[in-house]
Structure 1
């Protein structure tokens, strides 16, 4: 069943067309991966889908709720992890997740489950400013999971993660897909895109240049995606 409908969404600035007539229909249990260089439009699209940036034109409907008609009800179904998020460094890990947990109406049990998923149980009383880059990345990923959103939006989520946590990240997303939710994230890691992505969209200058739904092995998909990535 179609859970997300994006119809002819565009974003214009005074001197630039950041996104041009983007459309997609996505069923629950699907992962969409956005690939492309800097300025391709990936972050712009994620900002719009997250309700942070208003599109110049077009409509977005998630689970029957139109963004332009009821923004609050729409964004209550969203989990968002930005690429440049600056966590409140004087909070502890537990305080940080509890703060966002209140906003997302997440239970303390879910917060503890997320602490385990992101491997920060032993760091729960550590100040965020003392965490390594990879740990901060995992923490921000964890806050995006709060409230069990129907649509999870992640901007370059694997930046700063070591191979172990990249694999753990993929496993978490696999579980989210099995639960019937949608995941949309951007990445430069073609092996991650190949492993988790049901649909890979290559973007350039605000438009989708290639739409890939590859059903082969992970190795075949990775090779194919690397070839496409090199072609720009």
Structure 2
């Protein structure tokens, strides 16, 4: 079996003595896709922020490509592309200018800007200001910036929010292509159909706890769909 490219060990987060995430652990091999599924307040974003190196865990550890966040945060973060669940764009910048700014930060050649904008279907509007874009178009800008440096690990927080049905399907195709190219992907969603169609494995979260996990195929062998599996894990069926 391949050495895991991502290891999350006993990850927990407490804020003002309130437990937000409790004892989350998982490992991923290269070229696999994990979906963190759950409703609002389930702890999905907190797990992803800790994995991305943005938020320090109260306990536990995250390791990417054998690099421990605690030991070398700079090198750790260089392995990762991160798409947040929301972002306040600069009012004056076009999509191309926004991406060029991020490319300079990541030391990525400007040619890559056009490539990733084309991958998310924004090449024809690259000269328009991002603040004039719809929610779904802004989501695609954030997807593009996460992919800029061809990261080993791609982390996406609620990437399908605001996407219409066409771009939800295109997003799933894009993830599968990135997987074929060797990327490892972790994304969060409350849209279980997207997880069912895009992910290899899922973890169901509720109030910051893992209430069920496994391969998508193993769940679909036992349940009609991931909605039924999730409800059963919550004790609702």
Range into which the TM-score falls when normalised by the shorter chain: over 0.9
Pair 1:16–1:114, CA change in 2 (3 A): same
**How does the TM-score come out when normalised to structure 1?**
0.94
1:223 corresponds in structure 2 to 224
Which residues in structure 2 correspond to 1:32-181 (within 5 Å)? 32-181=34-183
CA distance in 1, matches of 2:98, 2:201: 33
1:99-129 CA-partner distances (Å, limit 9, x unpaired): 0111122222221111111111111110111
Contact 2:223 2:229 in 1 (8 A): no
Contact 1:128 1:136 in 2 (8 A): yes
Contact 1:30 1:198 in 2 (8 A): yes
Secondary structure at 1:215's aligned position in 2?
A: helix
Unaligned runs of 5+ in 2: none
1:27-51 CA-partner distances (Å, limit 9, x unpaired): 0011000111111110100010111
**How does the TM-score come out when normalised to structure 2?**
0.92
CA distance in 2, matches of 1:30, 1:17: 29
Contact 1:32 1:185 in 2 (8 A): yes
Deviation at 1:221, TM superposition (A): 8.7
Deviation at 1:22, TM superposition (A): 1.1
1:26 corresponds in structure 2 to 28
1:141-199 CA-partner distances (Å, limit 9, x unpaired): 11111100111111110111111111111111111111222111111222211111111
Contact 1:34 1:203 in 2 (8 A): yes
1:34-83 CA-partner distances (Å, limit 9, x unpaired): 11111111010001011111001111111111100000000111111111
Deviation at 1:9, TM superposition (A): 1.2
Pair 1:13–1:216, CA change in 2 (3 A): closer
Query: Alignment length, in residue pairs?
Result: 231
Which stretch has the larger CA shift, 81-90 or 69-78? 81-90
Aligned alpha-carbon RMSD (Å): 1.8
Deviation at 1:212, TM superposition (A): 2.5
CA distance in 2, matches of 1:221, 1:85: 39
Secondary structure at 2:127's aligned position in 1?
A: coil
Contact 1:78 1:151 in 2 (8 A): yes
Secondary structure at 2:108's aligned position in 1?
A: coil
